[in-house]
Structure formats: structure tokens, C-alpha cells
Structure 1
Amino acid sequence: MRQLSGLDATYLALDSATVATHLGCVCVIDPPAGGPALSLQKLTELVASKLPLLPPFRRRLAEVPFGLDQPYWVEDPDFDIEFHVGELTLPAPGNDRQLAAAVAGLHERPLDRTRPLWQIHLIHGFASGQQAVYMKVHHAAIDGVAGSNLLVALLDLAPQPDEAPVVDPWRPDTEPGALWLLAHSVGSAARQPRRLARLSADVLGLLPGLVGGPACRRFLAPPTPFNKMLGPRRRWAFGSVPISRVEQVKNCAGVTVNDVVLALCAGALRRWLSDHHALPAGPLLAGVPVSTRTDEHTATEGNQLSKVVAPLPTHLCTPAERLRAAHEAMGAAKEQFHAMPTDVLTDIAECTMPAVATRISRLASRVRLLERVRPLNLFVSNVPGPPVEMYIGGARLDAVYPLSTIADGQGLNITVVGSFDKLTIGILADPEQVPDVEAIIDAMVDELDLLHAAVGSRALGPADAAQAEPALAVSC
């Protein structure tokens, strides 16, 4: 049994009738030539065999009565894998649009909190003969880096993996009683004054740097069509660009992959906002999640995150200008991030009881607070993907497309996954706010062509031609 951190539990508090804070991905796979396609039975057996490597998959929540302390993960004594693994068939003609619609329908459904918080669906019916595996896990259990590692643990390096036995020491937990949970919440309450004192000192120390930072120079993000309260439905679009082309722009311009991603987003959103007669005069504000993990190569659970806020230069006219501005904005954001203790967000979350966090979230929703006060326009995340060719159940992994989460006041999320040959893009939106999310994907692909033509064979200028600093490790 393990207690959730305050940051983990924050994502539970954000859940509502219209917000579901789980992370997901779609693995498009090529069945082996001349061999059988992946079946539901084989996928279920595969997941079952990998359970020792997938800690969140057998844990469910045990919530403290009255929300007086953070809940616990318990090894579920009633775990039933068949509840979590299912299948569906796409309607004809079985193309990318049908896949996107089917996945959006799966992603908008909340997870059952009485069971471990994950689901996997095998998807058939592709006109191309391919298949897909859609997986979602609640954000309370994983962040983007942990989710990426969880996926890699599920995959194999060869079509026929070694049959080395995996030791499974798993034992279900005894259900903790209400009195036990309440008793342990007393100890947590006793530690609160010390946490609050440390948090106060950290925040006071940060104020001078924050006042001069970009987030405080502009307290509110400009209004856009996707900064409203959410409805219950979701729309998802996906695509990809060659990672080699992104790397060429990065190297010629002397920037980072993160800078290129932000520039692609800025150019695409500028076009979309202009087409919808909603382009603000100034830049958008993008939240960029940052991993604070030190063991990111093995972690498959929990959240270790911070974030930086960077201006997204949608107000600039040319691709080269947008790339230069994105590079400068991320440079300033890095300085601010490195000056900030990495555990401030965690401390804030630890000092808030779940009962209070849930009430604050519901009150903010009722008064439409995040529609009136906009700290951000959207999140842009860059998540590491499988670094080499991999397989699942003998089928070759063709691509991994991400799905993140959206929230009230932020009805659009752009996430990219970098792998050994592709930079894949997944954009999730509220269809009432962004009915044509596919247009943003198309615009990002076009923007890379424009950016490559502008800077693909030359640097941006003397100030930017120097070797770029290492990128921040970012995560959903």
C-alpha cells in the first residue's frame, strides 16, 4: 500500500462531469507478414504476463473518509484483468478519421474509481490491414515520462521475445478500514505546520525572480475560442513529421527540438486563429510541463512534474521570427525554472486536503473562474517515445500517437512524442471550441515545410547560431 502524493491527488480533484484527467496513447501496429493478427485473447495474455513490470495496473484507490488526507494505492484483491482489456472494430472505410473518432469516444469516458485506473482497447477494421492499441491511465498514477516507460515495459524488442520468466512477487493488500485511514490522517495533519512553514519560506524567496518573469509581466493570457468551460465530448486528431527534418532545422538554427515544437505550434495556431477571425494582437501563453525526475529511465508510476510558462509567438508573421522568439522565450523560462525549487508545486499540493482541493475545483467550475481569469491558453508537451523499433505480440510498432488531458479554461492540448524516426503529434480538444482540430495538425505539418525552407540550410543569426543549451525534459 502506498499513499499518493499531493500532486498525484490533485488530478483526482480535477475530475468532474466534464473533465477526465487521464493520459493516453494509440499504438498503430503492423501484423506480421503471413502471421495472425493480434487477438484480444493474445493481448490480454501479453498484458497479464507483463503485470510485474506495470505497477499501476493492479492498484486501486482507497480514499480517506471525509477527504482528510491523500488517498492510498492498494494492491486490489479483486483485480480482474478482463475488465480492463477490450476491443472494437472501426466502421467502414476504416481510415484515420474513423480511428480518431473512435479513440476520442473512448478517451472522453471517465475511468471507474472502484477499480485500477486504466484500460486498453484493441482496435480492428483498418482498410490498410493495420491494427491499433489504445491505452489510457489516470494522471494520478502516471505523468508523461512514467507513461512512456510504462508503454516501453509493455513492448518487446523483437517479434519473438525471450521467454525468460518474470518473477511475480505480487500479493493483494488487505482492504484498509476507515478507522485505520483516519488514524493515519492524524499523523499527516501533525506535519502540516512544518510543511506550511517551509512552503512560505520557498514562496517568499521566489517572489523577486517571479515578478520579473514572463508570467508576471502578463497576468492573463489573451482570449481565444478554446479558453472556455468544457463540455463532456472530445475531438482528437493525429499526425506525424520526420524526426530527421525536425533535427535538421534544430541543427541549422542552433536551437532545441522543444524550440522547434513551440514554433510549429505557434505557426499552426496563428493560421487557425486567423482563419477563425480570433488572432490576438500579442502572443499566447503556453504551459510547458517539465519532468523533475532523476530516474526517468525506469520510473513507471507517480508524478514528478513542474511547469514553465512561455509566450507562444502567434503574433509574429514569419516562421524564422517565430522560431527565434520561441528559442528566446524558452531560454528565459529555463532560467526561471532552474531558479525555482523543484518541490514547490508538490509542497503546495501536499498542504491541501483532498476535500478542500475538490471543493475549490468545483467552486471554480461553478463560477467559470478559468474562463474569466486565464493563466494559460493551452499546454504544449514533448514526451519521449520508444527510442528503437519495438513490437507488441509479434506486431511491429509503426507509431505512437499521444492523447493528453484538457481542463476548464484550456480546451486544447498539443502533445508530441519523439521516437527514432518520427515526431508524432496528438491534439485533443473540446469539439464545441475547436470543431476542426484536424486543421491544426495539417498546419503544423505545413509549418515544418515553411520553417525548413526558411532556416533549413542556415542559422537564424549570430545570436542564435551558438550551440543551444540542452532542452528541459518535458512531460505530459
Structure 2
Amino acid sequence: MQRLSGLDASFLYLETSTQLMHVCGLIELDGSTIPGGYSFDKLKAELAARTKAMPTFRRKLQDSRLNLDHPVWVEDTDFDIDRHCHLVAVPGPGGREALADLCGRIASQPLDRTRPLWEMWVIEGLDNGHVAVMSKMHHAGVDGVTGANMMSELCGLTSDAPRRDPATIPEGAGKASSLDIAVGGLLAVAARPAKLARLVPDSLAVLPQWIGRARRGEAMPAPFTAPRTSFNGTITGHRKIAYATLDLDKVKDVKNAFDVKVNDVVLTLCAGALRDYLDGRNELPDKSLVAMVPVSVHDKSDRPGTNQVSGMFTELATQISDPVQRLRTIGDRNPIVKNHNEALGANLLQDWSQFAAPAVFGAAMRLYARLRLAERHPVVHNLVISNVPGPPVPLYFLGAMITGMFPLGPVFHGAGLNITVMSLDGKLHVGLVSCSELAPELWDLADAFPTALDELLTAAHEQERK
């Protein structure tokens, strides 16, 4: 068996009927590249064959009433691909809005915790004759890096990419009895006081260090200092999805013209689109929006678990009207924010999450939602923004060429908007998820991204002529 880390398990404890903790992905496919042509049965058969070599797709949760620690992963000995791969069709005209509405309904449904925590919905009936796949994976089992790695196992550089060599298949999660789970949990809990004694002194130093950095102008924005917007409230279980595709070469032209990083341009595009969206609703704050940006620590952390992440807060300079000044401000501040985040340590979030108690944590989360406390205290942060670098070459998903890949992260009480950006084959794909009640006109935000890029590109061309 494989025991979940505290951070992995926290995504289970955070989940309620309205705060769903799965990550999604919308993939648009050209099925004509599949050898012999597309059919749902053929796609499902190839998925079944590849998941046999991928233990993470065949593990499920198991727990015991006597377990004092986090649940464990075990092998699903009754795995059935038909419980995970489903066929649906877009109702009526299969344009982008119809596809996104269907995906929003899929994203609004929780995963069945008695099975491996993932689903794929193959969607037919699109106007352009293509096929789409809406994937769902619980955050307890994936983070940005591991999710991308799992998807890469289903992809190849050619339409007939070979499957994994059986000799290289890693071991599965194994089995566990209730006694095994309980005894392992007891031993883990018994070791917590010693771990807490080591953790507390380092953690107590965080606040004075943060204050000192803030006085020197070397700190990221503190939590609970973000301005309130319409998407910073209590979320429902309804999800709205929208997306956009940008030319990556244009993004790089902006990067080169102003000597910044691609991530600086991505954050500035998000800021420009958000500024346009909020200004159009007469609710643009005078103070900058604050984004929480997940940061992978896979190469820095020695802690167990699937989720190897920390998070940093960054200001988006949305109070600045000039896009170039906004880009330069973000570019100047990002190294400071990154340095501060690194100073906090790669393991801080993971170490503290080990002490999350399922009964207490889950009950507190449900009470927090029921009392709508997200609307009663200052805003922690306005939204989540992730930037996932992908390969610069075409990819084929189960033999079908990918024409669009839009990652879609979860939303939270108090932060009902998530923007995730992924580069692939010369394109920048932007996936947006919101709570339908807090941001019902999400396409207005998605459609503001090309405008934000055009503004920066025009300024870049002017810069080059000087």
C-alpha cells in the first residue's frame, strides 16, 4: 500500500459538494490521424491497453475506521475501463460555447471515491468534425507535473507511437488490510510530536522574516491583502469553462522586445484580460489583484507524496493602465517574489499538511462554506494562475493529433476563478474555470486575451523601431 501524504490527503478533506477538488483538461483532437480512422471503441481500447501499464491509473483509496492517519492507495483489483471512459455528444450545433457548456457540466460532478479517481469523457458532434476529450483527475492523485507525466504516457510524437515496454512497468499500489492501515497510521501519528517540535521553531521565524522583507521591499504580498471582486465569494458546485488560443511566437516577440521572461508575459496577459473584464463591469479595483501561483518543488523536496508544490502570491499590477509599464512592473517583481518563496523553503506546506486531521478538517471546511465565511474576512488572494510548459512539437493522444490542450484547475471558496496556461506546438492554450454564479460571462474574459496580446505586440514592434 502507499499512504497519502498530508498534502495529497488535504485535497480530499477540502472537498465538499460545492468545492470539488479534481483537475480537468479539455483536449481537442483530429481523429483522422488515428491509423485506420477514429472510432470511440478504438480509442477506448487503446486507452485500456495503455492504462494496464500505468499503476497510477489503477489505484484507488482505502481506509479503516481505526486509522488515525491519512488513507492509503491500493490496487483496484476490479478495474474496468468502462467505468472511466464514457461517450457523449455535444447537443445541437457543436461550437465552442456548446462544448464548453457540456464540459462545465462534467466538471460540476464529483468523482466516485470507490474507484480510481479519474474519468475521461470522449465528446463527439463538434462542428469541425474533430473529437474532444474531457479528463478529470482528483488533485489527491496529481499535481501539475505528475498530471502532465500521466498524460504524456497516453501521448506520443507520432500517431503510431509504441506503448510502454512491459519490462519497465513500475509496481502497483499493492493491497492492504484494515489492520495494516490502522497499525501504519498509529505509528505515523506517534511520530508527529517529534516532527512538530522540529517544525514549529522554523515556522515561527516566518512572520518576522516576512515583515523584515516587506520593509525592504523584498516580500511577496501577504495573504488577506487582496481587493475584493465579484469572483471572490462563496462558490457553488456549478462550473463555467472557457478557453483561448494564442500564438506562442508572438508571446516570445514580446518577451524578447522587453527582455523579460515568458512567464512575465503570461502573467501580464492574465492581468490585461482581467483588467478589461473587470473594467467592463465597473468593478476594477484601485489596488492590484493578487494571484496565487502554484510552484513545483519536485526537484527540491525530499518529502513523499504525489503533490510536490508550494504556492507564491504575486501582484498582477492591474491598477496600471499602460500594458508596457504593467509588464515591466511584473517583470521587476517576479524575481523578488520567487526569491521570497524559495526562502520559505520547499517543504513548509508539505510538512504542516501532515497534521491535517480528516474529521476536523472536513467539518471545518463544510462549516466555512455553510456560513459563507469567505465573504466575511479579507480576501486571501483573488485567483489561481498556473503556467505549464509543454513540448514545442505536435503531440498525438492515443493516435489522434492534438489541436488544442486546455488545462482546467479547481476553484475555491473566496477564489472562484482559475486560469491555467499551457504551451504546446507553437501555441499558448489558456483554460479558464469559474463558479457559474460568480463569473457567468467567462467568455468575455477568455476573449480579452487576444486583445491583451495585441496590445503588447504593438508596443513590442514600436520598441523595436526605436
User: 1:56-112 deviations in whole A, cap 9, x for unaligned?
Assistant: 210110124266211101011221111000111112211111111111111111000
User: 1:200-258 deviations in whole A, cap 9, x for unaligned?
Assistant: 12212322332234456674211100001011111100111011111111111111111
Q: Is the 8 A contact 1:370 1:408 kept in 2?
A: yes
Counterpart residue number, 1:181: 181
Offset of 1:152 from its aligned partner? 1.1
Determine helix, strand or coil for the equivalent of 2:449.
Answer: helix
Q: Is the 8 A contact 2:60 2:75 kept in 1?
A: yes
Matched, 1:252 2:257: yes
Determine helix, strand or coil for the equivalent of 2:166.
Answer: coil
Q: For 1:288 and 1:329, how far apart are their aligned partners in 2?
A: 14
Counterpart residue number, 1:196: 196
Q: For 1:366 and 1:198, how far apart are their aligned partners in 2?
A: 36
Counterpart residue number, 1:471: none
Q: Is the 8 A contact 1:111 1:138 kept in 2?
A: yes
User: 1:290-324 deviations in whole A, cap 9, x for unaligned?
Assistant: 0001299xxxx811000110111111111111111
Matched letter for residue 314 of structure 2: A
Q: Is the 8 A contact 2:28 2:402 kept in 1?
A: yes
Matched, 1:361 2:362: no
Counterpart residue number, 1:281: 286
Determine helix, strand or coil for the equivalent of 1:339.
Answer: helix
Q: For 1:80 and 1:46, how far apart are their aligned partners in 2?
A: 14
Q: Is the 8 A contact 1:77 1:172 kept in 2?
A: no
Q: For 2:67 and 2:184, how far apart are their aligned partners in 1?
A: 12
Counterpart residue number, 2:395: 390
Q: Is the 8 A contact 1:23 1:405 kept in 2?
A: yes
Q: For 1:52 and 1:426, how far apart are their aligned partners in 2?
A: 29
Are residues 215 and 448 of structure 1, via their aligned partners in 2, closer, same or farther at CA, if it must alter by over 3 Å?
A: same
Q: For 1:67 and 1:353, how far apart are their aligned partners in 2?
A: 11
What is the correspondence of 1:56-205 to structure 2 with a 5 Å cutoff? Answer: 56-65=56-65, 68-162=68-162, 165-167=165-167, 173-177=174-178, 179-205=179-205
Matched letter for residue 309 of structure 2: L
Q: For 1:304 and 1:37, how far apart are their aligned partners in 2?
A: 39
Matched letter for residue 327 of structure 1: G
Determine helix, strand or coil for the equivalent of 2:183.
Answer: helix
Offset of 1:181 from its aligned partner? 2.1
Offset of 1:455 from its aligned partner? 2.7
Matched letter for residue 220 of structure 1: T
Q: Identity, % of aligned pairs?
A: 36
Q: For 1:25 and 1:371, how far apart are their aligned partners in 2?
A: 29
Q: For 1:33 and 1:332, how far apart are their aligned partners in 2?
A: 46
Matched letter for residue 68 of structure 1: L
Counterpart residue number, 1:9: 9
RMSD: 2.3
Once the two structures are overlaid, the 10-residue window that deviates more, 268-277 or 202-211, is 202-211
Once the two structures are overlaid, the 10-residue window that deviates more, 306-315 or 54-63, is 54-63
Counterpart residue number, 1:467: none
Q: For 2:170 and 2:247, how far apart are their aligned partners in 1?
A: 42
Determine helix, strand or coil for the equivalent of 1:61.
Answer: strand
Are residues 164 and 142 of structure 1, via their aligned partners in 2, closer, same or farther at CA, if it must alter by over 3 Å?
A: closer
Q: Is the 8 A contact 1:414 1:426 kept in 2?
A: yes
Please give the TM-score of this superposition, normalised by the length of structure 2: 0.92
User: 1:370-411 deviations in whole A, cap 9, x for unaligned?
Assistant: 222211010110012244212133321112111110011111
Q: For 1:333 and 1:36, how far apart are their aligned partners in 2?
A: 51
Determine helix, strand or coil for the equivalent of 1:106.
Answer: helix
Once the two structures are overlaid, the 10-residue window that deviates more, 155-164 or 407-416, is 155-164
Once the two structures are overlaid, the 10-residue window that deviates more, 324-333 or 257-266, is 324-333
Are residues 124 and 392 of structure 1, via their aligned partners in 2, closer, same or farther at CA, if it must alter by over 3 Å?
A: same
Q: For 1:290 and 1:34, how far apart are their aligned partners in 2?
A: 35
Are residues 456 and 199 of structure 1, via their aligned partners in 2, closer, same or farther at CA, if it must alter by over 3 Å?
A: farther
Counterpart residue number, 2:306: 302
Q: For 1:249 and 1:230, how far apart are their aligned partners in 2?
A: 36
Query: Unaligned 5+ residue runs, structure 1?
Result: 462-476
Matched letter for residue 316 of structure 1: I
Counterpart residue number, 1:319: 323
Q: For 2:328 and 2:280, how far apart are their aligned partners in 1?
A: 24
